[in-house]
Amino acid sequence: MYKENEFKDLVVENLIYYRKINNLTQLELAEKLNYSDKTISKWERGEGLPSIYVLHKIANLFGVTLNDFTNKRKVKIKHKKTRSRALITLIAFVLCWLVATIVYVILELSLPDFNKSWLAFIYAIPVSMIVLIVFTRIWRQFIYTFTSSSILIWSIPLAIYLSIDYDKLWLLFISAIPLQILIIFFFTLRKDLKKQKTISEEMN
């Protein structure tokens, strides 16, 4: 039978262990649970513990049971779900660049006078970012969604600018600035809403 402090230390130790073995940062775990990273940090410092419901949710996320959080014996985690998600995303991403390579080769062989075959790789950037946005949204990896969205916003005007010979096309980059600001605002607002939700849940 564990004493209260021993039990708390054991849960904290296992929470850190399972988070790290699943290659998640405190922020990434917080996003998956709709909590703030400060709350995760608070748990891992032993200044508070998640409720049984939240601990059960974390256990399901890591593919373990509640008993694994109160057991001194570390259980080896299988990364099947995480690896399969990463593999699917990687395959979709690589396919975009494979298609771009095929298009490049076809253009080089069929249109030897066309000196912009390399644009196939430029257009592969926004296409591959769209693929990443879709999958990171499905897997709820919002940090990567933000990064992919930002690259998409700037790669589209870049592709158009390099494709069309027109002096004032540089203005497209200026038009991308407010879109970038909107994305930053959206993800910042989303993070603030999560913090408010966490505070509300802790008060209740």
Q: Reply yes or no on whether the pLDDT at 166 is more than 60.
A: yes
How much is the pTM?
0.57
Mean pLDDT of 82-104: 90
The DSSP-derived string for 28-81 is HHHHHHT--HHHHHHHHTTS----HHHHHHHHHHHT--HHHHS-SSPPPPP-HH
Each residue of 144-163: pLDDT tens digit? 889 999 999 999 999 999 99
Assess if residue 201 is contained within a domain: no
Whether residue 153 sits in one domain with residue 85: yes
Is residue 203's pLDDT more than 50? Answer: no
Q: Which domain holds residue 8?
A: 4-78
Lowest mean pLDDT among 67-71, 127-131, 170-174, 191-195: 191-195
**204 lies in some domain:** no
- Do 171 and 156 touch, CB atoms closer than 8 A? no
Verify that 101 and 67 share a domain, yes or no: no
Total domains in the fold of the chain: 2
